[in-house]
């Protein structure tokens, strides 16, 4: 039987997993909480470090260009705030989850596939999607949403620090200026993006794991392909969602 292209497999797995939301018997809290810890809590250190330095670098560069081109840095809160809420604070945790969590999921599921553990689950009449995909799907969405909010807060805090200590802003002045550029809908859009990216990562990772062949070499190849595909998918979705939100708002 001819195999479907990989993107069909990914789309099919996504809808099969999504329909499990309405099946109460697959909501195993302990497995979901364990996956939330592995994908969310365990990712906090690297997300904190990456977003902190990203906030410092972006604010410093924007301020430098403003001072050169406009001789005025009063727009630092507005420009950095919008960039952080719409791109930087969302894309960084998503891409870090791809490299850290997505690769781990593909390697784990792929190893189970080549060692016939998934076939053993089927013999025991345990649905691999219920057992392997769904808990990670829910946990990844929760973790991604929380990490997005945490990332945005960390990046904004570092941006505020650069503005206060480097460009003589007052804290209240920075926050008041930021309030004129950032509203509740920006937070909603950031969460929508975060949840969308979070739902995508385990689906692509598990899809490549399920199709893994050829022992250790196959697991390595599937993991690489999973990370590359997830990264490209997030970049494309980020563009589409940004365009959509810009048009709506």
Q: How many CB atoms lie within 10 A of CB 190?
A: 23
**Residue 69: exposed, middle, or buried by beta-carbon count in 10 A (0-12, 13-18, 19+)?**
exposed
pTM: 0.89
Domain count for the chain, please give it.
Answer: 1
Angstrom distances, CA of residue 48 to CA of 41, 92, 149, 161:
11, 10, 11, 15
Q: Considering the domain boundaries, does residue 164 fall inside one? A: yes
Q: What would the mean pLDDT of 166-184 be, rounded to a whole number? A: 85
Q: Considering the domain boundaries, does residue 226 fall inside one? A: yes
- Which residues neighbour 234 within 8 Å (Cβ) at sequence distance 6 or greater? 91, 94, 95, 98, 197, 200
Query: Is the model's pLDDT at 1 over the cut of 60?
Result: no
pLDDT digits (tens, 9 = 90+) for 62-117: 888 888 877 777 788 888 888 888 888 899 999 999 999 999 999 999 999 998 89
- Which residues neighbour 34 within 8 Å (Cβ) at sequence distance 6 or greater? 135, 139
Cα 238 from Cα 215, distance rounded (Å) = 34
Q: Considering the domain boundaries, does residue 169 fall inside one? A: yes
- What number of CA atoms fall less than 13 Å from residue 59's CA on the CB side? 30
Q: Considering the domain boundaries, does residue 101 fall inside one? A: yes
Q: Exposure string (b/e) for 200-213, b if CB count within 10 Å is 16 or more?
A: bbbbbbbbbbbbbe
* 3: nearest Cα among 234, 182, 211: 211
Residue 113 in tokens: 């596939």
Q: In the prediction, which pLDDT does 209 show? A: 92
Range of the domain at 182: 29-248
Q: Considering the domain boundaries, does residue 13 fall inside one? A: no
Q: Considering the domain boundaries, does residue 229 fall inside one? A: yes
Q: Considering the domain boundaries, does residue 171 fall inside one? A: yes
Q: Considering the domain boundaries, does residue 9 fall inside one? A: no
């Amino acid at each position: 039987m001819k195999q479907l292209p990989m993107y069909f497999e990914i789309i099919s797995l996504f809808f099969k997993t999504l329909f499990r939301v309405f099946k109460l018997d697959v909501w195993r809290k302990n497995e979901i909480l364990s996956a939330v810890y592995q994908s969310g809590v365990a990712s906090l250190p690297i997300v904190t470090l990456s977003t902190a330095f990203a906030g410092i670098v972006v604010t410093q560069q924007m301020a430098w260009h403003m001072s050169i081109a406009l001789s005025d840095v009063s727009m630092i809160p507005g420009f950095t705030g919008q960039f952080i809420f719409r791109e930087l604070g969302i894309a960084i945790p998503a891409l870090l989850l791809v490299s850290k969590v997505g690769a781990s999921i593909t390697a784990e599921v792929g190893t189970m596939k080549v060692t016939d553990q998934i076939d053993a689950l089927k013999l025991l009449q345990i649905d691999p999607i219920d057992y392997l995909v769904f808990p990670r799907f829910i946990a990844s969405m929760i973790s991604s949403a929380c990490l997005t909010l945490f990332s945005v807060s960390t990046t904004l805090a570092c941006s505020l620090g650069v503005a206060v200590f480097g460009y003589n802003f007052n804290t209240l002045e920075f926050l008041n200026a930021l309030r004129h550029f950032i509203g509740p809908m920006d937070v909603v859009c950031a969460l929508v993006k975060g949840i969308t990216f979070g739902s995508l990562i385990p689906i692509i990772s598990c899809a490549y794991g399920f199709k893994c062949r050829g022992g250790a070499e196959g697991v390595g190849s599937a993991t690489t392909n999973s990370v590359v595909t997830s990264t490209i998918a997030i970049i494309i979705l980020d563009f589409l969602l940004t365009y959509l939100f810009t048009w709506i708002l």
